[in-house]
């Protein structure tokens, strides 16, 4: 059966058409002078094309094969050193494991094997461009290596300035996530292109190892910008834990593996500064920090707080609030945070980790997309609609299971915006 595999060179436009090798020929048998059919190897084209110049350092080895499949790829630099490259999971490319170097010459040797067993080898030598002088788009990977995160921890990449819609597919193809044991997921962009999230249909399984690579260094993004850096991290998922806050009862329920382990009285945001309702994720933890809301519409105060755990960029935290202990469990008096007692806040700091799910319900306002790591605040069907690339149709959440699937985590991600707790 004839098959066709296409491996593309991402974000690289090469004017020269790739050379094609292969086809069927007839040759004469010298012993008896008769003609016999001779089947050559498959048709094979390679990109970058031979003698291509000014190739971005984000280049991948691409092929087009007709009548066979790629069975070998070898990439070497101009000193003869082999360059590591890994095939994409979908078989659409061979990606160097690190960015190529500027103004260097590389040789790609690709072998394809046909259905008959005959092979074709194609060699392409190309030269990368000088270091780009175009403005960079700054990327931030909110997933730090050597941590233990919660089961709701999304992989989050933020961009400044935001990625335009027409460039998101190219950027997304340079974002890689591997999980062990395998738990496939998908990427989803915020509407404005300022953040993209990766998660699986269901919460991560405890003990899963997640390896992330944002291979954006030198990647052409649109017409006038490039990616800024290569970022990688590998961390694990810890035990399952979640927090549920009900404004009707003014209680926080703490669940481990779906089972309640504690209830804690809370005081949420008063009507003029309400708390957000939705599914959020603990983003960072501080034993002690300062809330400075000067300049904010409903702010104007500076206060030191203990045992603070952020879950929105807008400044909503769980934190110790001994001044409101008389109101906790009955009245909302905060500026939007979840106030708990000093003892409860200290206990929570010992059991939670970054990446734990916190669900708040029954308040006056709904959580806004992007106000924190909001990947879980939408259904899976809505989430995958935010992908710039096709998502496997069979990737679906498991049937409804035990109540309260939660999350656990640890560590602290990349620096966040200034603390403005409420």
Q: Rounded CA gap, 159 and 197, in Å?
A: 12
Who's near 268: CB < 8 A, 6+ residues apart?
245, 247, 250, 274, 275, 332, 334, 336, 337, 338, 339, 360, 363
Cα 119 from Cα 190, distance rounded (Å): 46
Phi, psi (degrees; rounded to nearest 5) at 397: -65, 155
DSSP string, 177-225: EEEES----EEEE-TTSSEEEEE-SSPPPTT-EEEEEEE-TT-EETTTE
Query: Distance between CA atoms of 379 and 290, rounded to whole angstroms?
Result: 35
* Residue of 62, 137, 99, 383 lying closest to 213 (CA atoms): 99
**In sequence order, which residues have a C-beta less than 8 Å from that of residue 85 and are 6 or more positions away?**
60, 61, 73, 75, 94, 95, 96, 97
Cα–Cα distance between 306 and 287 in angstroms, integer?
A: 5
Residues designated catalytic: 319, 337
């Amino acid at each position: 059966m004839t098959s066709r595999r296409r491996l593309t060179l991402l974000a690289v436009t090469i004017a020269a058409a790739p050379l094609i090798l292969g086809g069927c020929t007839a040759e004469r048998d010298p012993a008896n002078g008769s003609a016999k059919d001779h089947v050559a190897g498959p048709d094979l084209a390679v990109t970058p094309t031979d003698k291509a110049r000014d190739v971005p350092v984000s280049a991948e080895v691409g092929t087009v094969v007709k009548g066979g499949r790629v069975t070998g790829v070898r990439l070497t630099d101009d000193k003869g050193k082999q360059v590591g490259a890994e095939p994409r999971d979908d078989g659409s490319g061979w990606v160097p494991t690190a960015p190529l170097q500027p103004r260097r010459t590389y040789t790609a040797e690709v072998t394809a094997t046909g259905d008959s067993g005959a092979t074709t080898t194609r060699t392409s030598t190309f030269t990368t461009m000088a270091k780009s002088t175009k403005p960079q788009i700054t990327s931030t990977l909110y997933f730090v290596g050597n941590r233990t995160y919660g089961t709701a921890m999304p992989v989050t990449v933020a961009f400044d300035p935001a990625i335009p819609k027409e460039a998101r597919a190219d950027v997304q193809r340079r974002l890689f996530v591997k999980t062990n044991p395998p738990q496939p997921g998908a990427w989803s962009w915020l509407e404005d292109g300022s953040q993209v999230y990766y998660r699986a249909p269901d919460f991560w399984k405890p003990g899963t190892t997640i390896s992330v690579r944002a291979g954006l260094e030198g990647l052409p993004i649109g017409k006038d910008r490039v990616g800024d850096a290569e970022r990688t991290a590998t961390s694990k998922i810890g035990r399952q834990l979640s927090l549920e806050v009900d404004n009707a009862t003014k209680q926080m329920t703490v669940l481990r593996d779906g089972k309640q382990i504690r209830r804690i009285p809370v005081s949420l945001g008063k009507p003029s500064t309400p708390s957000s309702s939705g599914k959020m994720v603990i983003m960072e933890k501080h034993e002690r920090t300062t809330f400075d809301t000067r300049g904010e519409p409903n702010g104007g105060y500076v206060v030191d707080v203990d045992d603070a755990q952020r879950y929105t960029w807008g400044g909503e935290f769980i934190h110790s609030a001994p001044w409101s202990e008389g109101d906790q469990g009955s009245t909302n008096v905060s500026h939007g945070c979840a106030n708990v007692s000093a003892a409860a806040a200290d206990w929570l700091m010992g059991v939670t980790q970054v990446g734990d799910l916190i669900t708040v319900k029954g308040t006056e306002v709904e959580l806004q997309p992007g106000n924190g790591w909001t990947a879980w605040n939408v259904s899976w069907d809505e989430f995958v609609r935010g992908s710039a690339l096709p998502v496997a149709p069979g990737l679906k959440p498991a049937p409804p299971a035990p109540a309260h699937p939660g999350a656990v985590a640890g560590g602290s991600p990349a620096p966040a915006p200034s603390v403005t707790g409420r």
